[in-house]
Chain A
Amino acid sequence: DQQVKQNSPSLSVQEGRISILNCDYTNSMFDYFLWYKKYPAEGPTFLISISSIKDKNEDGRFTVFLNKSAKHLSLHIVPSQPGDSAVYFCAASDNNDMRFGAGTRLTVKP
């Protein structure tokens, strides 16, 4: 069963605009959420995380929002840059387990 879902397989955005990547989860025991970025031929690299006691975490151009009641999180990238083009995976953890979504391929056009 897919406990973590990224319903948009791809997203295309113009350079300088905002990219919003979405993620939904079903397991209410998840208490820590992460976003990973993956370039071709490389393993995923950690981008940003948020614990369930917060609803927002910001790191430079990247902000993650968590809506626990809706079991939804999103990653905002502002402004988007061509180098941000990659596959983004969201992940959720309950201390015992980490589950990943299917990924969203972001393309930022110059």
Chain B
Amino acid sequence: DAGITQSPRHKVTETGTPVTLRCHQTENHRYMYWYRQDPGHGLRLIHYSYGVKDTDKGEVSDGYSVSRSKTEDFLLTLESATSSQTSVYFCAIGGPSDQPQHFGDGTRLSIL
């Protein structure tokens, strides 16, 4: 298995609080991604990074920010969580190429 660790794996928090999710990789891969997965939707890209301090927005980036200060760590922050951000969040590494993306096991985030 590719070395991708997401933390925490589960989190429950209240509306309006800040939340930070962490993705850590041991593969030294240049590309890292944050997706969210909701019923009835395919995985949707929030933000991605193509190198240290190099990030770009995906299709559902509103309300989220990211940071990548080291190759191995990619952080996703919800500055002021809302109930619509209740979801399962997946980190991935790999691409763009003909090689597969490798996914972490997700963080289940519930915002009450």
Indicate whether A and B interact.
Answer: no
Interface residues of A (CB under 8 A from B): none
